[in-house]
Amino acid sequence: MFGREVAARQTGLREFARTQVVPLYDEQATKENIIAVLERLSGAGANSLPPAIASLLLKIGAAQPEDAVILYFSGHGTAQGQRFYLVPHDLGYKGGRDVLDEASLEKLLPHCISDTELEREFRSVDAGRILLVIDACNSGQALEAEEKRRGPMNSKGLAQLAYEKGMYILAAAQGYQAALEMAQFGHGLLTYALVEKGLVETEADRDSDGEIVIREWLDYATQKVPQLREGRSKQVTQAQRQRALSVSTSSQRPRVFYRRETELKPWIISKH
């Protein structure tokens, strides 16, 4: 849904010559394949195409300064120490979540994609505009800066790279917080807020000027997700609420990062 809606709106704006979606679903969403897409965008993966997704990768090449790149991840994530990890399909672990011990974790993490690996791959992507959306638990740990929109000049990692490159990053939750998915919405709260409420219902157009720019869109999602969570909480029974509190004692709060200085030409996501 995310890919379809964003691609349709970007195509309609006609700012770019073409819009290409490279979907990696289920068994295709492996660490190797996700890294291969980023390497293709950086120009480093021209000669090494994983057979399972070679036809998809041939649709894209190295990103240029006039291009825009959006990487959207919806799945599992985990924070371990100071690091955040995307958990792909080939997670290397078949046990239950509640019995995951240190030995199992050691087997799992090498199959995951750390924030340092994301930093390394994005460093070579030369697109003029880059957005990273992570709809996963603990995803705020990928941004170690205390101030949610500005990477401190003495920090390292993905937040600092984002500051240097002018990237936009939206994480579904804080560093040690769950990112919720609710059956009534059919999606994670962040994705539902971004796409269904923000774009389809145009709620992200906060100034009612008929267009939704990137900062409006991301800021809207950070405000809407806690409201969706709170609204759902009011519908459950007291017994259900008690059980919910035993799992999570804080409302899901997304974390957004972008540089404070505004662009001369804002990135328009949608017009209506």
85-142: pLDDT as tens digits: 999 998 877 777 777 777 788 888 999 999 999 999 999 999 999 999 999 988 988 8
Closest alpha carbon to 33 in 19, 54, 61, 47? 54
Closest alpha carbon to 108 in 91, 132, 122? 91
Q: Under a CB-based contact definition with an 8 Å cutoff, are residues 159 and 82 in contact?
A: no
Q: C-alpha 131: how far from its chain's center?
A: 8
Q: Under a CB-based contact definition with an 8 Å cutoff, are residues 251 and 220 in contact?
A: no
Q: Under a CB-based contact definition with an 8 Å cutoff, are residues 25 and 4 in contact?
A: no
Q: Output DSSP code: residue 256.
A: E
Distance CA 19, CA 140 (A): 28
Closest alpha carbon to 85 in 113, 108, 104, 111? 113
Phi and psi angles of residue 222, each rounded to the nearest 5 degrees, phi first = -65, -30
Record the pTM.
0.87
Q: Under a CB-based contact definition with an 8 Å cutoff, are residues 142 and 115 in contact?
A: yes
Report angle CA 179, 31, 120 to the nearest 5 degrees: 90
Q: C-alpha 96: how far from its chain's center?
A: 25
9-64: pLDDT as tens digits: 999 999 999 999 999 999 999 999 999 999 999 998 667 789 999 999 999 999 99
181-196: pLDDT as tens digits: 766 666 789 999 999 9
Tell me, what's the pLDDT at 216? 96
Q: Which residues contact 69 (CB under 8 A, 6 or more apart)?
A: 41, 63, 125, 127, 129, 130, 131
Closest alpha carbon to 30 in 142, 116, 110, 98? 110
All structural domains of the chain, each given as residue ranges with its CATH number in brackets, are 2-271 (3.40.50)
Task: Report which residue type is found at 211.
Answer: E
Tell me, what's the pLDDT at 247? 40
